[in-house]
Amino acid sequence: QVGGFAWENCGDKKDPAVLQSLSVTPDPISIPGSLRISAAGSSSKTLASPLKAVLLVEKALGDLWIQLPCIDNLGSCTYDDVCTILDNLIPPGTACPEPLQTYGIPCHCPFKAGSYSLPASDFVLPDVELPAWMTNGNYRVRVAVSNGGEELACVKLAFSLQS
């Protein structure tokens, strides 16, 4: 579906971590602007370091989907350990940012097995200087998370951006 928000799990049925619901408004997403997100997911096993994330980011050009390269950690990048990135963004020992803290959603590894739910919450998207190739348009993103070669989760997203 082009030009509308959509998501799906893309792992096989054995993946321990799955997204159960995800809602994002407005559609298209506006930068800068406010984003309202609600989500629920669960994992049947603890997700521990090193958590590798592989992103495939595509942008629609007419009827074609073009894979965007990884530039300055944006685009189709591989992150060898998301846990370290999270620790750098949010120093361990400090509280998780809202609304994660209110709803008991962890922001550091390990992520314990269980169910997590984020009721509709507002996030502010700042006016960031995005590269020209990452502005207005329709996008598809595939995120695969693994540990030691074992796939833990896979999610596909489709969304539109307008800046």
Q: Is 110 helix (H, G, I), strand (E, B) or coil?
A: coil
What does the pLDDT read at residue 127?
Answer: 81
Query: pLDDT truncated to tens, each residue of the chain (163 aa)?
Result: 445 899 999 998 899 999 999 999 999 999 889 999 999 999 999 999 999 999 999 999 989 999 999 998 989 999 999 999 999 999 999 999 999 999 999 999 999 999 999 999 999 988 877 777 667 899 999 999 999 999 999 999 999 998 8
The pLDDT value recorded for residue 130 is: 72
- List of domains in the chain: 6-161 (2.70.220.10)
| H or E element in which residue 89 lies | helix 82-89
Q: Are 99 and 118 in contact (CB under 8 A)?
A: yes
Q: Report which of 51, 161, 40, 152 is spatially closest to residue 104, judged by C-alpha positions.
A: 40
Convert 118-142 to b/e letters by CB count within 10 Å (16 or more is b). Answer: beeeeeeeeeeeeeeebeebbbbbb
- Token pair of 67, please? 């894979």
Q: What is the pTM of this model?
A: 0.91
